[in-house]
Structure 1
């Protein structure tokens, strides 16, 4: 039996469009001799790079070492959609449910964080296609129209402006027969090329004196009398303080491993659109977009006028499966292609150039959590649930605040001081995730009505989301 749109997927490159670039820097050498430092950062994605750079900006005299198991940005930081959201709570709705008394402050802090990212890129001359073009949400089912209105009202109640768009207004922005209404946020979203962002931050770290070692995985971490010792294949790092920025990968603090699960997300990019194809979409504002399903799609234009189209499936593999071969999932790519052409039938005949996947870390509260270990000498931030491009910078500041031992406006937040509930052990974990995915799919097809299972999860503030 032939697969619909298989011809559009023929010949796709099985790797991230962003990382498939001649601009990728040469890998840095591995650590081969024992060393000491003031601060060791474990992980060379956005979270780790922001931590190292901010540490040097706070105190240029401190010695900072960053170690990365492979190369900087090779995982989620170089594979995401390039959406830079000001939200620190994985959206207004999630924040309102969990920290209603703090949400106005969290929204202000999030916008400030986004402004500071833009300033950092300007100061360091980082060219990563960063644009404050905003974000469009599209209602594609009748019940979602009310959800869009509620989003706009919730934003207004917490000092933010998100504009409601009628069917004609959103189709004037981006034309799709599936769009019934929408919302536009011009303040709280930017777009970027995430790989160029990583590489730019890496270059900035090196210029400020951060010592970066790639292909240097850390196997164990132990408490020492004057700090913390990290063991790598060839050498040890003795550090006064350590920031853990490993996110989806198993934490060096074993007690944290029940708090996150790896979820695979998949993405397609088209070949560059012709002028006529581009005109058929409208999209003059070049905003990032997503729809409003529980299993949602996110999509945007790249700098060279490809359409990036991702999301919907969120795949958890039994036992916290985390393997390179899981980066490719043909059944999901076929599903994404079908949904793409349903949304944009005017692009029939367009082919896809890249198809890739990767794992993100999610937790039961859908947004990052923070903490310390080893007498305050180790700090961590993890659980960003796919919204970490900007929030990782906030998390880096939280880790540095915690390691400094000084109370700040960030560390006083209940969001920062609290922790999510852990996931249950296997096989209950897998069964619970699968049951939740099926219930979410059923809710999308049943006017948004949530069944008993989802209502029970809601009551306890738990869940699993695409």
Structure 2
């Protein structure tokens, strides 16, 4: 679980044996209750609002659009099935943070970070309310999350974050010393912790997506799955609308909301701001009562360590442990392909680190192993914008923290399309853009050097080399 010491030693046989029966499929999607997809679009459609993308971002946009105006005619198209990509593959951490953590937000938007925290916690409250309102059975638990220190320098970093939270008026952030954190979850690698008691919920990510899809359909959203968007264009002379072409038809819409995550944006000028990277996770078999007692994980918080190459882990409703993160895999050219979803070298590393974190669980086996693409941007949190004279809006770049923040992004897109100046659209975070990534091969080389430098920092007490300091100064800190 702790930082990899330069080059990891070969995994123990027990770690490799634990992977022997793992299914190469996302645990969350491997569910007999998975809903049947809606039919593909055949022919032409017309609507007020077209939402492109059936992950959280698109589903929240369609749902909130109907809540704001039940008469608005909304169509949603999805290239595969709703929730099949990042929304059905993540760890199920639904965080209040809109900025990928207090530190990242305070460094980039110090004057409005307190407001961003207020809006983020309100957004999480609204997600909880929607789950109840639409009876979405997604194992929603407001357990909070503990960030854990696994190296001495990280202890002081957690203290500093706790002080920053107090200064910003963020309630219920509690610093835990070594004994206190191990009383919550017992690992010999834990040196301290910071428990955000109300700012994070645990949930079943695929069931959230499926529940949102059902809620959208119940409100009258017309949903077409297996319907990729191939081209976006103005509807033609004399028309104020947009047209999106699909394999078997087209949709003409007055407005379009783009929620395409790591996939190539239909607005081409946005593409340099996004680069897809691959994240991977393992899921254990259900633990016995004795095994759970051995690690003392009673209150079911989510956990994450605070290294540059970090792990996230949590307990599911059926008593399994999800263990993910650490490696960030970038593919040359930023391509998103199904064959990139699996990376056995990362699975080996994750398995080894799991048993280093929890030696009490020797003999536990992994039932599932999977990966997926994350829409990374250089500021680690979402950015927003409009195109085609305000008829098209987009929200992208959630960088792995989109389970909660996508709902906020949906509100921003609808505000932009409606031409409204709101407490959201007034934010510098919303009005500004991240720095774009350079073209290949500079992008590939830069990410490689940065990854190497981050590993070195983890090994050297958090000390950042000249490359990382230069990236920090340029706003490309890769410190999240």
Q: Quick check: 2:387–2:393 contact (8 Å CA) kept in 1?
A: yes
- Determine the structure 2 residue equivalent to 1:39: 49
Q: Which runs of 5+ in 1 are unaligned?
A: none
Q: Quick check: 1:433–1:464 contact (8 Å CA) kept in 2?
A: no
What CA distance in whole angstroms lies between the structure 2 residues aligned with 1:169 and 1:246?
42
- Determine the structure 2 residue equivalent to 1:243: 257
- Determine the structure 2 residue equivalent to 1:192: 203
Are 2:314 and 1:300 aligned?
yes
Report how far residue 414 of structure 1 moved: 0.3
Residue 296 of structure 2 is aligned with which of 275, 279, 282?
Answer: 282
Count how many residue pairs are aligned between Structure 1 and Structure 2.
466
What CA distance in whole angstroms lies between the structure 2 residues aligned with 1:109 and 1:377?
26
- Determine the structure 2 residue equivalent to 1:366: 380
- Determine the structure 2 residue equivalent to 1:208: 219
1:39-96: per-residue Cα shift (whole Å, max 9, x none)?
0000000000000000000000010000000000100000000000000001000001
Residue 10 of structure 1 is aligned with which of 17, 20, 27?
Answer: 20
Give the TM-score of the pair, scaled to structure 2.
Answer: 0.96
- Determine the structure 2 residue equivalent to 1:379: 393
Report how far residue 465 of structure 1 moved: 5.2
What CA distance in whole angstroms lies between the structure 2 residues aligned with 1:190 and 1:382?
22
Residue 169 of structure 2 is aligned with which of 148, 159, 170?
Answer: 159
- Secondary structure at 1:18 match in 2: helix
Q: Quick check: 2:123–2:408 contact (8 Å CA) kept in 1?
A: yes
Q: CA RMSD in A?
A: 1.0
Alignment of 1:384-395 (within 5 A): 384-395=398-409
Report how far residue 3 of structure 1 moved: 4.9
Residue 100 of structure 1 is aligned with which of 86, 89, 110?
Answer: 110
What CA distance in whole angstroms lies between the structure 1 residues aligned with 2:305 and 2:313?
9
Report how far residue 283 of structure 1 moved: 1.1
Give the TM-score of the pair, scaled to structure 1.
Answer: 0.99
What CA distance in whole angstroms lies between the structure 2 residues aligned with 1:33 and 1:323?
28
What CA distance in whole angstroms lies between the structure 2 residues aligned with 1:127 and 1:26?
17
What CA distance in whole angstroms lies between the structure 1 residues aligned with 2:477 and 2:452?
12
What CA distance in whole angstroms lies between the structure 1 residues aligned with 2:478 and 2:264?
19
- Determine the structure 2 residue equivalent to 1:173: 184
Are 2:433 and 1:423 aligned?
no
What CA distance in whole angstroms lies between the structure 2 residues aligned with 1:2 and 1:185?
35
1:360-411: per-residue Cα shift (whole Å, max 9, x none)?
0000111000000000000000000000000000000000000001100000
Are 2:475 and 1:461 aligned?
yes
Are 2:325 and 1:311 aligned?
yes
Distance 1:2 1:147, change over 3 A: closer
Alignment of 1:328-343 (within 5 A): 328-343=342-357
Structure 1 segments, 4+ long, off by >3 Å, are 463-466
- Determine the structure 1 residue equivalent to 2:32: 22
What CA distance in whole angstroms lies between the structure 1 residues aligned with 2:76 and 2:34?
18
Report how far residue 35 of structure 1 moved: 1.0
- Secondary structure at 1:51 match in 2: helix
Report how far residue 322 of structure 1 moved: 1.4
What CA distance in whole angstroms lies between the structure 2 residues aligned with 1:444 and 1:317?
23
Q: Quick check: 2:11–2:349 contact (8 Å CA) kept in 1?
A: no
What CA distance in whole angstroms lies between the structure 2 residues aligned with 1:464 and 1:198?
29
What CA distance in whole angstroms lies between the structure 2 residues aligned with 1:175 and 1:373?
51
What CA distance in whole angstroms lies between the structure 2 residues aligned with 1:465 and 1:97?
11
Are 2:220 and 1:218 aligned?
no
Are 2:279 and 1:265 aligned?
yes
Are 2:89 and 1:75 aligned?
no
Report how far residue 321 of structure 1 moved: 2.4
Q: Which runs of 5+ in 2 are unaligned?
A: 1-8
